[in-house]
Structure 1
Amino acid sequence: MHSARRAARRAGGDWAQHPVLRALTAQKGTPMTKDGILTSEFDDAGTIDDVVAATETADDEFDEYDEFDVTDIDEVRREDDEDADEDVDLELVVFDLVGTTVMADGVTVVPGAEDVIGLLRDAGVKVAFTTGLPASSAQAVIRLLGSEDLADVVLGPADGRSDPYPDLALTALLRTGATSVEAMVVVGSTASGMAAGIASGAGLVVGVLTGAEDEATLSDAGADAVIGSIAELPALLGFDD
């Protein structure tokens, strides 16, 4: 979760122009500083529905805010390169519920899933589940994991657009109070999930092979790392150090 990864992604796309981030800026002033840290205004931005509703006027209003000028992107990259060795504390892990905690069939629990989630929460890391399932179906899947209280927040179709859009990951950031997109890890099992993680600005986007897609597909979609299952996530995040 180094800032150099963010610089590489910024070089590959005009990430600051994403409609959700633009709408946040138009609503509240600039919620994000040049180092990727969310300001206090972000906590008051409301739901993702409020954000998306503002996208129609965001284009006209965005340029009024000079705190974040996308023409300064080269300066941002230089700052990121200088800070490349500076780690960001992990605050939030966002799991695409089906394909990461349970297999793609939606009923077979991934071995070790509950233990991994428990380890994260015991370490003070917030956990979010995102899904395209209706709320009742999502709760049925979560019960398979042994407890309905495993996650700090569960987000579905009523909370924003699903992958490849970043709405649910950004909503998880809002709901859990995480302070930086750099401090967020997105874990998924599909190419669209990788795209959503990248679009959200997550510090790390991880693909797992317990879904329907293979390593090459997830890597080609932009995953920073591909692991066999979330049982390998603690080691990837340095919990075994």
Structure 2
Amino acid sequence: MTPDGRITSEFDDVTIDDAAASRHADATGADDEEWDKFDDRPDEFPEGDDRDEDDLADLELVVLGLTGTTVLDDGAGAPRALPGTEDLIHRLRATGVKVAIVSGSPRPAVDLLLDAVGWTGIADAVLTPADSGRAQPFPDLPLTALLRTGASSVEGMVVVDDTADGISAGIAAGAGLVVGVLTGTDGEDELLEAGADAVLTSVADLPELLGYEHTDADRAAADRAAADRAAGDAADRRAEGADAR
């Protein structure tokens, strides 16, 4: 992400909307030479990583929402990780990017949920309002994630959430990129109105947006996420039909 709001990945020819670009520039006030000081990523990525060195030079931290963004817990069965999420987390951390998981739920509930999906210790930080002070839409959770993980700039932070409140929190925190996903409570219109720079079907699509090559595993995960969403929509329609009768 550059100071003028340009995404430095496969979306090099796309700029963020004017309002988002303005807040990025205002937040940094840095010219290109000053901006280079924040680029402390290695000249070469580890063997097996499929990115170009210029991709995501400034990416330091990805903040992921919990329920609805990375984990599905609808009360109808055992909680489960949304397809593609675990691979995404491991992939980011393997290339030096910190990952924080945030939730507005109490700490005991968050710990139980992470334990249920086998994610204890999976992220660099797991935060609740008890850690930050205020819940979304305030910026406390993303900013606390920045501090806890040692990231050097809000411009190097990506916030991903399924709710308008989560998007608002990312924007208020000055995140370099704020992404909505359609696996939770709010739809595309709500997420865009809240200010999302991009809206994806699921976190399985995030690697491509961030400049990682889309692998067969990523595509399969995206297909599974779409199937889960379609099944949920069908169940909702059946329930509405039963209520009507």
Deviation at 1:104, TM superposition (A): 5.7
**Is the 1:189–1:209 contact (alpha carbons within 8 Å) kept by the matching residues of 2?**
yes
Q: After alignment, is 176-185 or 100-109 more displaced? A: 100-109
Distance 1:149 1:86 in 2: 27
Deviation at 1:87, TM superposition (A): 6.2
**Is the 1:2–1:88 contact (alpha carbons within 8 Å) kept by the matching residues of 2?**
no
Residue pairs, 1:152-171, within 5 angstroms: 152-159=124-131, 160-171=133-144
Aligned residues: 178
Deviation at 1:187, TM superposition (A): 0.4
Q: Out of 81, 94, 98, which is 2:67 matched to? A: 98
Distance 1:115 1:138 in 2: 20
| 1:111 corresponding residue in structure 2 | 83
- Give the TM-score normalised by structure 1: 0.66
Q: Quick one: structure 1 residues 86 and 233, their matched pair in 2 at CA, closer, same or farther if it must change by over 3 Å?
A: closer
| 2:235 corresponding residue in structure 1 | none
Distance 2:69 2:120 in 1: 16
Q: Quick one: structure 1 residues 154 and 86, their matched pair in 2 at CA, closer, same or farther if it must change by over 3 Å?
A: closer
Matched, 1:125 2:100: no
- Give the TM-score normalised by structure 2: 0.65
Q: Which has the higher helix share?
A: 1
Matched, 1:177 2:150: yes
**Is the 1:206–1:224 contact (alpha carbons within 8 Å) kept by the matching residues of 2?**
yes
What SS is found at the alignment partner of 1:128? Answer: strand
**Is the 2:63–2:158 contact (alpha carbons within 8 Å) kept by the matching residues of 1?**
yes
Q: Aligned-pair RMSD on alpha carbons?
A: 2.7
Distance 1:10 1:116 in 2: 26
Sequence identity (%): 54
Q: After alignment, is 146-155 or 200-209 more displaced? A: 146-155
Deviation at 1:217, TM superposition (A): 1.1
Deviation at 1:147, TM superposition (A): 2.7
Deviation at 1:169, TM superposition (A): 0.4
**Is the 1:2–1:86 contact (alpha carbons within 8 Å) kept by the matching residues of 2?**
no
Unaligned stretches of 5+ residues in structure 2: 7-17, 38-53, 215-245
Residue pairs, 1:193-212, within 5 angstroms: 193-212=166-185
